[in-house]
Amino acid sequence: MEFSEYLTQKNICFTSFSAAEPSVFKSWSDAFNLLHPASFTEQNKFIINKIRRKYPLKKE
Protein backbone atom coordinates (compact mmCIF):
# COMPACT_ATOMS: atom_id res chain seq x y z
CA MET A 1 0.00 0.00 0.00
CA GLU A 2 1.26 3.44 -0.90
CA PHE A 3 1.10 6.37 1.52
CA SER A 4 -1.29 8.25 -0.79
CA GLU A 5 -3.66 5.26 -0.77
CA TYR A 6 -3.46 5.11 3.01
CA LEU A 7 -4.39 8.79 3.34
CA THR A 8 -7.31 8.32 0.96
CA GLN A 9 -8.48 5.34 3.01
CA LYS A 10 -8.33 7.55 6.13
CA ASN A 11 -10.26 10.34 4.32
CA ILE A 12 -7.31 12.74 4.34
CA CYS A 13 -6.59 14.92 1.30
CA PHE A 14 -3.08 14.01 0.16
CA THR A 15 -2.41 17.25 -1.74
CA SER A 16 -3.74 19.63 0.93
CA PHE A 17 -1.84 17.87 3.69
CA SER A 18 1.45 17.74 1.75
CA ALA A 19 1.20 21.41 0.75
CA ALA A 20 0.19 22.82 4.13
CA GLU A 21 2.47 20.81 6.42
CA PRO A 22 5.40 19.47 4.37
CA SER A 23 7.60 18.59 7.37
CA VAL A 24 4.87 16.59 9.10
CA PHE A 25 3.90 15.00 5.80
CA LYS A 26 7.50 13.92 5.14
CA SER A 27 7.98 12.49 8.62
CA TRP A 28 4.71 10.56 8.33
CA SER A 29 5.61 9.30 4.87
CA ASP A 30 9.03 8.12 6.06
CA ALA A 31 7.53 6.39 9.10
CA PHE A 32 4.79 4.79 6.99
CA ASN A 33 7.38 3.29 4.65
CA LEU A 34 9.10 1.64 7.61
CA LEU A 35 6.00 0.29 9.38
CA HIS A 36 3.03 -1.89 8.61
CA PRO A 37 -0.07 0.28 8.01
CA ALA A 38 -1.78 -1.11 11.12
CA SER A 39 1.25 -0.25 13.26
CA PHE A 40 1.40 3.23 11.79
CA THR A 41 -2.29 3.75 12.55
CA GLU A 42 -1.87 2.51 16.11
CA GLN A 43 1.08 4.82 16.77
CA ASN A 44 -0.65 7.89 15.31
CA LYS A 45 -4.28 7.15 16.13
CA PHE A 46 -5.12 10.45 17.82
CA ILE A 47 -3.02 12.59 15.50
CA ILE A 48 -4.68 11.07 12.43
CA ASN A 49 -8.06 12.39 13.61
CA LYS A 50 -6.69 15.94 13.95
CA ILE A 51 -5.15 15.81 10.48
CA ARG A 52 -8.38 14.33 9.04
CA ARG A 53 -10.37 17.29 10.41
CA LYS A 54 -7.86 19.82 9.01
CA TYR A 55 -7.52 18.24 5.54
CA PRO A 56 -10.71 16.31 4.76
CA LEU A 57 -10.93 14.37 1.53
CA LYS A 58 -13.35 16.09 -0.83
CA LYS A 59 -16.14 13.80 -1.98
CA GLU A 60 -17.22 14.23 -5.59
State the total domains in the chain: 1
Per-residue pLDDT of the chain (60 residues; tens, 9 = 90+): 999 999 999 999 999 999 999 999 999 999 999 999 999 999 999 999 999 999 999 876
Is 50 inside a domain boundary?
Answer: yes
Is 35 inside a domain boundary?
Answer: yes
Is 39 inside a domain boundary?
Answer: yes
Helix H, strand E, coil C: the string for the chain is CCHHHHHHHCCECHHHHHHHCHHHHHHHHHHHHHCCHHHHHHHCHHHHHHHHHHCECCCC
Predicted confidence at residue 34, as pLDDT, reads 96
Is 11 inside a domain boundary?
Answer: yes
Is 46 inside a domain boundary?
Answer: yes
pTM higher than the cut 0.85: yes
Is 60 inside a domain boundary?
Answer: no
